[in-house]
Structure 1
Amino acid sequence: MKFGLYGLHRDRNVDPTVLARRARLAEEAGFESLWVGDHIALPAGEGNPPRLEAMVALTYLAAVTSRVRLGVGLIVLPQRQPVLLAKQLTSLDVVSGGRLTVAVGAGYVEPELNAMGVTLAERGARTDEYLAVMRALWAAAPSFDGRFVSYSGVVQHPSPVQRPHPPIVVGGHSAAAYRRAVRQGSGWYGWGLDPDETAQTLTVLAETARREQRPADLGELEITITPPVPPDLDTVRRYADAGVDRLIIELEGLDDAEVEGLIAAVGENLTGRI
């Protein structure tokens, strides 16, 4: 079992000193990865905490760490311009020394999507096409002609350190997300699932995999879950028995002492024991 930490882009962590200290603590504690989320403009009046933009947060994390992997998940793909995003992700992979993992989703917050010029109805089609655009650019294809994006006679350099590109993880709990994960993802990311819900969802994923054609070069689908609450050792074992490969622990709702205590506790009690 691998352990990630989610949330170093928001709340108190927007203070760069706090962000750097906690990232280094997590790296020393043995966390496999640090993850940030992606919301650009959320509905007003919902008590949303301050948050750093995902690409900026990851760049800073790359600079203050040296070994831990860096994940963006879920990046709301249809609200990002994919030619620019491909360059940003390549640059992050290069400056981090090949430590980047990219988790993508279609999004669900309609006012946010609308503010970025995207309708809810076209988010799935954009997600699939944007993935194709980024893969084309990472493969140095000089042209692409799609419904939403077209380019001709251009390439991007350098290439990502990880070839052919950083791992692409697909998130979401819809039938379309499961199909996208099987067809295009190196992994699937589920949010807020307890062990029983995880087992039920993985059954659905397995059924989807029997119906869909998975490219051989993608290998076995890696499963990542963020539990609803930080798990104890017995709960971690239940996730492992269900087939989970990585647990990403969320920091939301914890005060400063609890955050740093959790980081230390995971390192001492969980990492390396499963």
Structure 2
Amino acid sequence: MSVRIGIGSIPFGDAPGPALAELVDVCEALRIDSIWLPDQASENGIDPLVGMAYAAGRTTRLKVGTGVLVLPGRNPMLVAAQLASLAALAPRRILPVFGLRSASPAERTLFPVPAGQRAALFDEALLVVRRLLTEPSVTHHGRFFQFEGAAIAPLSARPLDLWLAGKAPAGLARVGRFGDGWLGSFVTPEEAGACRRAIEEAAAAAGREIEDDHYGTNIAVLPPGTPDAVRDIALQRAAERRPELDPRLLVADGWAVARERIRQFVDVGLTKFVVRPATAVGSWRGFLDGFAAELAGVQT
């Protein structure tokens, strides 16, 4: 199994355009595996699908992914067409990960769905996206979507893997039934191992199998030299997301801690990692130089 580490959930600050350009250029120069763009339409950032196209067009080897794209509330036919175009422009470099809802309550009004039907809508939308990305003509009569003879082009010779996020029992079961991989967030290594086992059980029950190296998670990192006040804010935010845990289990304080945390995740069966700064960084070059120097050797 190959261990790969990318950069994700990027806080761009007040100038997202130049910041993304700097990030992409430095990642390509340092041969960093991938970048993962968040879906935060109401914040000062870049739309993930637009950003993926920009990054892919600016590079030749950098992989680009969503971290994560909220699917309910989006038109799945258009999402499939966008992903097909991206796959044609950058073969084998497009990494879509879908989620059920945004972590920010302010974002949820941007993706309206019928009350109490978000999970069912997600399942059907994911089916529509997968079929359109793999079949030359699709007829679908479902609860939420109805169409006949729909097609998108060009179809990729190697279908995209569709990864899913989430850590609730229902979400893990969904990964087993419908996903090609899992990307966790705000989980400890022990929890991640349990999540993998739950996904494998659900996949086996559905007569499916997920590849061994298709399990991963996000890791928040405070780079060395982070001021104490900034560190406290980052830890407080993590505590608000998981109040039952010590936030230091969710935020790696320094590169050495991040390196050890990755090894712990590898021990429980995870091999794909999205490292993100736990706070805004003053210089992408400085952060990425530290990332490349401290974590590149963990990859296989």
TM-score tier by shorter-chain length is 0.7 to 0.9
Find out whether 1:170 has 2:167 as its counterpart.
no
In 2, Cα distance between the equivalents of 1:70 and 1:198? 23
Residue from 216, 222, 225 that aligns with 1:224: 216
Where structure 1 has 5 or more consecutive residues not aligned to the other structure, the ranges are 42-48
- % same residue: 24
Residue from 290, 295, 298 that aligns with 1:265: 290
SS of the equivalent of 1:224 reads: strand
SS of the equivalent of 1:153 reads: strand
AA aligned to 1:135 is: R
Find out whether 1:38 has 2:39 as its counterpart.
yes
In 1, Cα distance between the equivalents of 2:206 and 2:82? 30
Q: Deviations over 1:181-215 (max 9, x none)?
A: 112222101012233332343344344445x2242
Find out whether 1:118 has 2:113 as its counterpart.
yes
Residue from 193, 216, 238 that aligns with 1:199: 193
TM-score computed with the length of structure 1 as normaliser: 0.85
Find out whether 1:241 has 2:267 as its counterpart.
yes
Judge conservation of contact 2:12–2:280 (CA < 8 Å) in 1.
no
SS of the equivalent of 1:266 reads: helix
Structure 1 match to 2:52: 58
AA aligned to 1:264 is: D
Find out whether 1:157 has 2:156 as its counterpart.
no
Judge conservation of contact 2:139–2:147 (CA < 8 Å) in 1.
yes
In 2, Cα distance between the equivalents of 1:122 and 1:111? 19
Structure 2 match to 1:215: 208
| C-alpha RMSD over aligned residues | 2.3
Judge conservation of contact 2:213–2:271 (CA < 8 Å) in 1.
no
Q: Deviations over 1:149-196 (max 9, x none)?
A: 111133111113x52x21111100111211111122221010122333
Structure 2 match to 1:140: 136
Q: Structure 1 residue 110: deviation in Å?
A: 5.6
Segment drifting more, 107-116 vs 2-11: 107-116
In 1, Cα distance between the equivalents of 2:275 and 2:100? 22
Count residues in correspondence. 261
Distance of aligned partners of 1:254 and 1:247 in 2 relative to their CA distance in 1, 3 Å threshold:
same
In 2, Cα distance between the equivalents of 1:60 and 1:200? 37
